[in-house]
């Protein structure tokens, strides 16, 4: 009986830590398979949501029982931000009418709390250096599994579950084509790439601190997976953050090894290099100067990133010649658009009607020599970013409210401003700054091996913030949970051992 009581006491003492280890494995590795849909929304409840609800309940029970302690100095920052988020949501729904569906707006606001609560859970779980090492090594083990699974998708046909569009989000099991970018166990390749960008400098920090080659081997595997995602912004963010990390620490030899590995893996990936070359393309396009219509004759294939309609004209004073091949491509593109529009409206056009519409549309088009951006950048520049800016200008203090600017903005800073205004943005930046300066304060020139751990986190955070200029990283659940958990672990580590 005494042994049983001792076991229960041990379980009671370590319950949060044990659940956190399970959480660390579950969130990145469990695919986004829906259990059931919430009525009147397009949101699905998944298994991890039920586990998180159970975990948070246990956390608050243990908190009430004084079994855990929190980093109290951070609580006001988080509480104020959460208050600002819900104030924006309520104002957007009831006053501005920019959040038309109340349930969806609430869920978008609430998930900010759901992700960020794990900062406090992780901080409370660290009671010793051993706890910190155990939990961080668990994260690294998961990182290895995620990376190897992504490699398996590329070379061995491992399946994927993605949420890149509403149809995929239903939980379909997908098998990637040779041209597809790997997503591993994540919802898409962008999420996976952001996750890797954040963790790679942290892994290198542990390598420098512990001098264990296993961490460098993990870096190599992770870097290869990052290249397979073919995410340009993530690759740039990784390159800048790791280069800055090595230069700051004055590690030229290690930097040279990393550069050689990075270039070598990049040259092996035709997908990544071709996407960089296709970011801006010199093309001859057609523009209707009266309506602003832009037509780009091109064949859409999975092997080539299509051009968008954002362009800069070059050689303005020179006449533009249109050869027969280009004219044929233009007519094919216009005819395809005409038939698509007719199909949407339920009409069936005769060949004579098609010819008349084709002649009318062609007559107003002027050929131009241009540099055009790819469709990814064009969509951000012409649709998503202006939408966020307009939402911000509509209500600069509180923004337009959670969910008001649709699913994606592909720039976390503009998303913050558009949804939560200056108030929410300043409070969010205050949270990130308070964590950063707290860790910087604990840098000690006499404890260089410990400092490597801090620098790894700081440069990983720097890489993630760069990534946030092009992707909504703090709304991607697997990335957000990982970020707030690791931030909490670092705060818990220094609060427990050095204060």
CB contact at 8 A, 467 and 408: no
Domain boundaries, the chain: 68-273+386-497, 284-379
Q: Which of 29, 2, 3, 85 is nearest to 482 (CA)?
A: 29
163 CB burial (10 A radius; 0-12, 13-18, 19+): buried
CA-CA distances (angstroms) from residue 9 to 13, 58, 184, 276, 385? 6, 15, 39, 57, 53
Q: Which residues of 1-22 are buried (b: 16+ CB within 10 A; e: fewer)?
A: eeeeeeeeeeeeeebbbebbbe
Angle between helix axes 477-497 and 2-29 (nearest 10 degrees) is 140
- 160 half-sphere exposure, CB direction, 13 A CA radius: 27
Contacts of 233 (CB under 8 A, 6+ apart): 193, 466, 467, 469, 470, 471
Structure tokens of 308? 């968008």
Q: Which of 278, 261, 190, 201 is nearest to 229 (CA)?
A: 190
In the prediction, which pLDDT does 66 show?
Answer: 92
In this structure, which long-range contacts are made by residues 257-262, counting pairs with CB atoms below 8 Å and at least 24 apart in sequence? 261/220, 261/223, 262/223
In the prediction, which pLDDT does 80 show?
Answer: 97
In this structure, which long-range contacts are made by residues 216-220, counting pairs with CB atoms below 8 Å and at least 24 apart in sequence? 218/140, 218/143, 218/144, 218/147, 220/261
CA angle 243, 248, 252 (to 5 degrees): 65
d(CA 212, CA 206): 8
User: Hey, which bits of 249-305 come out as E strands?
Assistant: 280-287, 294-295
Place of tokens 């751990």: 453
Which residues does the chain have with pLDDT short of 70?
1, 38-43, 165-169, 300-304, 317-320, 498-499
């Amino acid at each position: 009986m005494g042994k049983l009581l001792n076991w229960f006491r041990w379980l009671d003492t370590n319950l949060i830590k044990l659940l956190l280890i399970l959480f660390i494995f579950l969130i990145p590795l469990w695919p986004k398979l829906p259990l059931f849909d919430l009525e009147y929304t397009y949101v699905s409840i998944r298994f991890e949501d039920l586990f998180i609800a159970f975990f948070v309940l246990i956390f608050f029970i243990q908190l009430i029982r004084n079994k855990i302690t929190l980093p109290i100095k951070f609580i006001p920052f988080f509480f104020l931000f959460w208050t600002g988020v819900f104030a924006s949501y309520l104002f957007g729904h009831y006053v501005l009418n920019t959040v038309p569906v109340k349930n969806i707006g609430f869920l978008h606001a609430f998930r900010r709390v759901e992700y960020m609560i794990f900062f406090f859970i992780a901080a409370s779980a660290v009671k010793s250096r051993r706890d910190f090492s155990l939990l961080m090594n668990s994260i690294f083990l998961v990182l290895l599994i995620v990376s190897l699974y992504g490699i398996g998708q590329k070379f061995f046909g491992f399946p994927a579950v993605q949420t890149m569009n509403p149809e995929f989000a239903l939980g379909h099991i997908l098998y990637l084509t040779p041209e597809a970018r790997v997503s591993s166990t994540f919802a898409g390749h962008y999420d996976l790439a952001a996750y890797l960008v954040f963790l790679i400098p942290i892994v290198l920090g542990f390598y420098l601190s512990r001098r264990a080659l296993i961490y460098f081997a993990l870096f190599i595997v992770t870097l290869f997976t990052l290249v397979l995602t073919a995410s340009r912004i993530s690759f740039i963010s990784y390159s800048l953050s790791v280069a800055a990390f090595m230069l700051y620490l004055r590690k030229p030899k290690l930097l040279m090894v990393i550069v050689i590995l990075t270039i070598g893996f990049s040259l092996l990936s035709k997908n990544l290099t071709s996407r960089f070359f296709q970011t801006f393309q010199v093309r001859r396009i057609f523009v209707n100067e009266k309506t602003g219509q832009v037509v780009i004759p091109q064949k859409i294939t999975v092997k080539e990133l299509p051009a968008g309609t954002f362009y800069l004209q070059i050689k303005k004073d020179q006449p533009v010649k249109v050869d027969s091949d280009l004219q044929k491509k233009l007519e094919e593109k216009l005819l395809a658009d005409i038939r698509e529009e007719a199909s949407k409206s339920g009409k069936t056009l005769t060949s004579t009607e098609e010819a008349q519409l084709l002649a009318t549309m062609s007559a107003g088009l002027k050929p131009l020599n241009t540099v055009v951006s790819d469709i990814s950048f064009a969509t951000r520049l012409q649709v998503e970013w202006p939408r966020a800016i307009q939402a911000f200008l509509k209500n600069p203090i509180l923004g337009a409210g959670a969910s008001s600017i649709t699913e994606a903005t592909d720039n976390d800073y503009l998303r913050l401003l558009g949804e939560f205004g200056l108030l929410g943005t300043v409070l969010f930046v205050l949270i990130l700054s308070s964590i950063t300066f707290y860790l910087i304060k604990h840098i000690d020139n006499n404890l260089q091996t410990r400092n490597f751990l801090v620098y790894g986190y700081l440069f990983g955070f720097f890489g993630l913030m760069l990534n946030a200029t092009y992707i909504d990283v703090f709304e991607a659940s697997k990335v957000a949970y990982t970020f707030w958990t690791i931030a909490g672990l670092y705060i818990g580590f220094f609060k427990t051992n050095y204060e």
